[in-house]
Amino acid sequence: MPAVSIDTFFACSLMVMLVLSAMAVTTTFLRPHMNTTDGDSSQRLYRELSKYLLLSEGMPSNWGQNGQTIPETFGLARSNAECPYELDGDKVSRLNDENFYAISYAEAFTSLEAPDTFFKIEIKPLFDVKIRLDTTFDSNNDTIYQFEISTERNGVPISTQMRIFTIAEAYLKATSASATNGETMQNVTIPDTVDGPALLAVIARSAYNDRIMSFNACAFAHSSAEPNLKGTFLKLSPLNHSLTASFSTSGIDLTNAYALTLNHEFQLEQMSNTSESTTYEIPKILDSGPTILVLTGTNSTRSFIEWTAYPQIPVEMGADFVDSHALSDVFSFTYLITIDSIIYDCTVWLGGPA
């Protein structure tokens, strides 16, 4: 057997074991007025449907890459996937309502072709990256910011290797760090001559498994007022290796655009520009893992910094089961899925009418 085939076999075997393990985590979310027999039948039915959502490519199979295409049938699997539960990053990005090309829940519900079944999908990294600005102090013509960065899952520390990026206007600096016990303190220095606001972005990888990664970013004031909420100035929509920055207000002037990965940082090239949006090319690299996209600019005289990730996760899309009183049973099924070889946590909720 060729080496490539052997590698693929073992990679798929690993994913099957991970998925089977994850599938054991099946819970009844709401289950009033049901007997055991009916409950078991519903659970089996919904489990199969949850697997269908993740194993089917949908139709057309490339509906994720074209922002104008609404799927005729719904499915999130990557076309020609080599392993089960390998999802398409663009299809997942189109579940995020921050994306200009997002499909609505109504469109997904219709294309699922199961009119008596409501659903919700959540996809997120296997651990969280938390960033907290601890201390700020001046040093000559610079300002030094001390951040506390922690990596954890459900409160349990996760040992990680990380890449930390400091971005402010035309200023970009990257450093490496370790969080052996799930926590590290990092000092970043920004010259006072650099306009703010600024952003600290972190991409972290498990110290024990290269396929488990997470990320986060934190905007903070530097030579400026406090940064605005994310999305105030731009709606960032990564899709099919291009980034569309749609202007939320008038008078937008974009100055810099960056793509940040665990091992690389790029300045993005502009592909097109109109009075309502600007499009950039996202470079294709061999490394697996998420890409953090950062844009800086001004709105009249106010500077801003905006960011998103590609694929655009974490994401949660679907029915609001908590406030629903019209459903007789809702089950949740948790899986380990992969996007671009990185393992993520996916939970699917399914329920029917009373």
Mind listing the pLDDT tens digit for each residue in 56-84? 999 999 999 999 999 999 999 999 998 99
pTM higher than 0.95 = no
Establish if 265 belongs to a structural domain.
no
| Residue 320 lies inside a defined structural domain of this protein | yes
Q: What is the pLDDT of residue 7?
A: 42
Q: Is residue 39 part of a domain?
A: yes
| pLDDT tens sequence across 253-276 | 999 999 999 999 999 999 999 999
The burial of 14, by beta-carbon neighbours within 10 Å (0-12 exposed, 13-18 middle, 19 or more buried), is given as: middle
The answer to the question of residue 176 being in a domain is no
Domain assignment of residue 295, yes or no? no
Number of structural domains, the chain? 1
pLDDT given at position 153: 96
Residue 71 maps to a domain = yes
Q: Is residue 60 part of a domain?
A: yes
Q: What is the CA radius of gyration of the chain?
A: 22
Residue 31, pLDDT score = 34
Q: Which of 30, 95, 39 is nearest to 337 (CA)?
A: 95
Q: What Cα–Cα distance (Å) separates residue 239 from each residue in 54, 161, 309?
A: 19, 28, 11
Q: Is residue 117 included in any domain, yes or no?
A: yes
What is the predicted pLDDT for the residue at 225? 77
pLDDT along the chain (354 residues), means of 10: 41 47 39 39 90 96 96 96 95 97 96 90 98 93 96 96 95 95 95 93 97 97 88 96 95 95 94 95 90 94 93 95 68 96 96 76
Domain containing 117 equals 3-124+313-353
